[in-house]
Amino acid sequence: MSIEEQVEEYYKKQLDRYGLRHYGKTEPTNNSIARALKNANSKSGGSGNNYPDIQLLLVNANRRSIPVMIEAKGTKNKLERLNTDHQIDMSKSSYIQGYAVNGALHYGNAILDEGTYSEVIIVGINGTEVDPVTGIVKDPELKAYYVAKKNSGMPKYIPDFEFRISILSVACRLILAHYSMNSIPCPCLTPSGNRSSGRLNKLLRNESKQSIRAFMTTRNCG
């Protein structure tokens, strides 16, 4: 039996801890993102709206903004589906509907296609067991990718996200503040399936909750 709703609520609470404003399935982030999700094909391939489980809009001090699309599942082995080339498999609607990362990429692609934003972050979350008293997911899974038009829409794996939703804001901070994605590759981002050298972990240890919240805000930039 799926515990998708409990997984979703668990991760929402983690985002709340870090003061990150998030939006639910039917809550519009802004006009551009709402339009993108409305006009794109549904996850089944037909007409109809799209409803990401969790949405964020991360904006840094230079007003560079990146939408974040998060899709939840609550069943074993439903985090992501890869093809034989170890890339996210979008070849079947059943994969897009049935796997968290694949569904998140569907939403991310819709946003890029709309044209207002040229980069997105997609996140899949999953779990199969939740503590009935605390609501904590005992076996959380999380995987995130950076997707940009300049990379021809090829998802770049953001390593070291597994089991640690609290570093979402830090990883986005590193992407937005420390590296120019338009000119040099970010060492925190690697092709799907590859692991970083550990530099991200070192940087993460030097960050604090206070600096995260001071740096990042969520605004209606549509």
What is the tens place of the pLDDT at every residue in 148-199?
998 899 998 887 554 344 445 445 554 444 333 444 344 333 333 333 334 4
Q: How confident is the model at residue 124 (pLDDT cuts 50, 70, 90)?
A: very high
Residue pair 143/72 in contact by the 8 Å Cβ criterion: no
Cα 114 to the chain's mean position, in Å? 18
The percent of residues in the chain predicted with pLDDT above 90, rounded, is 49
Q: How confident is the model at residue 105 (pLDDT cuts 50, 70, 90)?
A: very high
Backbone angles phi, psi at 65, to 5 degrees: -120, 145
Residue pair 22/12 in contact by the 8 Å Cβ criterion: yes
141-150, 193-202, 210-219 — most confident range: 141-150
The residue type found at 192 is: S
The answer, yes or no, to whether residue 68 has pLDDT greater than 60, is yes
The answer, yes or no, to whether residue 214 has pLDDT greater than 70, is no
CB-hemisphere CA count at 13 Å for 20? 30
What is the tens place of the pLDDT at every residue in 6-33?
999 998 988 887 677 899 998 989 999 9
Q: How confident is the model at residue 219 (pLDDT cuts 50, 70, 90)?
A: very low
Q: What burial letters (b/e) apply to 60-92, b meaning 16+ CB within 10 Å?
A: beeeebbbbbbbbbbbeebbbbeeeeeebbbee
The answer, yes or no, to whether residue 212 has pLDDT greater than 70, is no
